[in-house]
Amino acid sequence: MITLINKIIPLIVVFLLGYLLKRKNILKKSDSQALGKLLMYLVLPSIIISFFAQIEFSPKIFYLASAGCLSMIFLGILGWLVAKLLGLKDVVRGTFILLFFTLEVGAIGYVLMLAVYGNMGLEKMVIAGLFQTFIAFTFVPALASYYGKAKGDIKKTLMSLFSSPIVWSIFIGIALNILNYQSEFLNNLFQILNPGLLLLFMIIVGLEFEPKINSFKLPILIIFFKTIFGLVIGLFLVKIFHFGDLERISILMMATLPSGMIMIPFAQEYKLDTKLVANTLSIALPLSLIFYLVLLNFV
């Protein structure tokens, strides 16, 4: 327990530092967009390419990626059922469902697995979130277009998928693996870029954190149902696939992750309920750090 606290508390401190820098006007909330671009276009591609370039492909990888994808699908179905039971309509209903469907794999999943379990933990989470990445850039924006006031088009959705540096990084890493390409230059470059993950992600979460919540009801319901039923879904998938320790932990974490920050640009672009998105993320992201401090101590 003490070891786990010593690994997670520094992440919370960096998160609080990010929030403090915003409160002191040293950084602005809008600066998170620039930091996010550094992550999206440099740090995450570096981590993903270096991982897939070295991995040994096996059926276990497919099973882990499939389980991660299934957890996302089951959560989406859960969101649809809860929204129906609550009688939510139109834009609010769509936003509610999508907040169940999206998972913050990067800022929470990658960061915690790397901080607590090192590179091996990060690798398991990358695999668990593999298929989820493609769904996040295809089905999720399509659903956002369906429920939102601003309708999108299929061409734009496909372009967002194929122009995503995350998707390209997966293909580049796999290509380097197949070609068995080794480069001291790339290895040195990866060693410079990869350590930026923890710092940048937690600073971004701190900058995005807004403690002034306009409405607690729906955000609390989303967090409660995603966390409790997500844990049940995760335990079910772990039992079905008979995963080992790190694989089990990555799926349990995947199934209970808070809503993804990707919902912010989707909500803006497709004119969903941006207040519901902001309120949910403001509560869910910092609370998830506390939740995983408890969960990881028991698994």
Least Cα distance to 160 among 176, 144, 178, 177 occurs for 144
Output helix, strand, coil percentages for the chain, rounded to the nearest 5: 80, 0, 20
pLDDT, tens digit, for every residue of 151-176? 555 566 566 666 778 788 888 999 99
Report phi then psi at 138, rounded to 5.
-125, -70
Q: Would you state the structure tokens that stand for residue 185, as one six-digit string?
A: 């230059």
Question: Where do the domains of the chain lie, and which CATH numbers do they carry?
Answer: 2-207+219-298 (1.20.1530.20)
Residues 212-256: tens digit of each pLDDT: 666 778 899 999 999 999 999 999 999 999 998 899 999 999 999
pLDDT attached to residue 294: 85
User: pLDDT at position 157, please?
Assistant: 59
CA dihedral for 51, 36, 24, 208, sign (positive or negative): negative
Which residue intervals of 39-138 are DSSP H helices? 44-54, 59-86, 90-101, 111-128, 130-136
pLDDT, tens only, 48-101:
898 888 888 888 889 999 999 999 999 999 999 999 999 998 899 999 999 998
- Neighbour-count burial of 158, counting CB atoms closer than 10 A to its CB (0-12 exposed, 13-18 middle, 19+ buried): middle
pLDDT of 283 > 90? The answer is: no
Q: Which pLDDT does position 151 carry in this prediction? A: 57
What residues contact 254, with CB distance under 8 A and at least 6 apart? 67, 68, 71, 72, 103, 105, 109, 125, 128, 129, 132, 234
Instruction: Give tens-digit pLDDT for 17-51.
Output: 999 999 999 999 889 888 888 888 898 889 889 88
Residue 206 to residues 28, 85, 117, 202, 220, Cα–Cα distance (Å): 11, 34, 23, 6, 20
Q: Give the span between the Cα atoms of 144 and 24, in whole angstroms.
A: 35
Mapped onto helix, strand or coil, the DSSP state of residue 58 is coil
pLDDT of res. 253: 94
